[in-house]
């Protein structure tokens, strides 16, 4: 059965949707990307405060949440700004974005 439209991977076009009208960021929410460096800002299951990690999944509609692989081998999901602190290049990128926004 032929495609009605070319697959996204062949033509490089990615559809963009406007955010839902009810989608509002939470207070203090951070905008992390895949591969961003973070550290645990609180004790988590198997992860002590300050443990470094990398974001492996970033998703969410109204509540941005992240899955992180920590340096001690533990991978946890449903983490957000209450659990994570951006570090290194990620922290500098977010500081630049905040400065531009203000």
CATH number of 29-101: 2.30.30.750
* Domain residue spans of the chain: 29-101
> What are the residue ranges in the chain where pLDDT is below 50?
1, 3, 6-8
Give pLDDT, residue 10: 52
- Res 86: pLDDT: 97
In this prediction, residue 19 carries a pLDDT of 60
pTM of the predicted structure, to 2 decimals: 0.73
Spatial neighbors of 39 by CB under 8 A, at least 6 apart, are: 50, 51, 52, 53, 84, 85, 87
| Structure tokens that stand for 68 in this block | 């992180």
**Predicted pLDDT of residue 25:** 66
Question: 41 near 92, Cβ under 8 Å?
Answer: no
């Amino acid at each position: 059965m032929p495609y009605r439209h070319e697959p996204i991977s062949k033509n490089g076009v990615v559809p963009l949707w406007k955010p839902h009208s009810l989608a509002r960021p939470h207070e203090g929410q951070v905008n992390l990307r895949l591969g961003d460096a973070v550290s645990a800002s609180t004790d988590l299951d198997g992860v002590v405060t300050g443990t470094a990690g990398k974001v492996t999944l970033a998703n969410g509609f109204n509540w941005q949440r992240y899955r992180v692989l920590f340096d001690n081998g533990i991978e946890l999901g449903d983490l957000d700004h209450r659990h994570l602190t951006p570090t290194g290049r990620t922290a500098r990128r977010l500081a630049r974005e905040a400065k531009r926004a203000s």
